[in-house]
Amino acid sequence: MVYNPAMSSLGTIDSSITETIRKAIVTAIEGAEVEVVGRGGHFTIQVVSTAFEGKNMVQSQRLVYSAISHLMAGDNAPLHAVDSLITKTP
């Protein structure tokens, strides 16, 4: 068996997933401030961005979901559910 330090504890796995989610959103929504917390495939995400100006809640959330949809695809997706998604303008 090959040792994989990323799998040595659940905290490490979850923290790398939260960072992956955060980076995906920041990449798709330039200048976004992103906070991601959670574990076990369930996460709470808060995004603050000027990109949401003039958009309703559903439109703003669609921007975020489009940034992370690839992390929710497939049977072994690291992101199973977004328990809470908050989008705000600065």
Domains and CATH numbers, the chain: 5-88 (3.30.300.90)
Predicted confidence at residue 77, as pLDDT, reads 87
What pLDDT is stored for residue 39 in this prediction?
Answer: 86
Residue 63 one-letter amino acid: L
Contact assessment for residue 86 and residue 49, using Cβ atoms and an 8 Å cutoff: no
State the pairing for strand pair 81-88/42-48: parallel
Tens digits of per-residue pLDDT, 16-73? 999 999 999 999 999 999 999 998 889 999 999 999 999 999 999 999 999 999 999 9
Q: What's the count of helices (H) and strands (E) in the chain, helices before strands? A: 2, 3
Say which residue, 75 or 7, is predicted with more confidence.
75
Amino acid identity for residue 11 in this structure = G
Global pTM?
0.81
Q: Find all residues with CB under 8 Å of 31, minimum gap 6, and list them.
A: 49, 50, 51
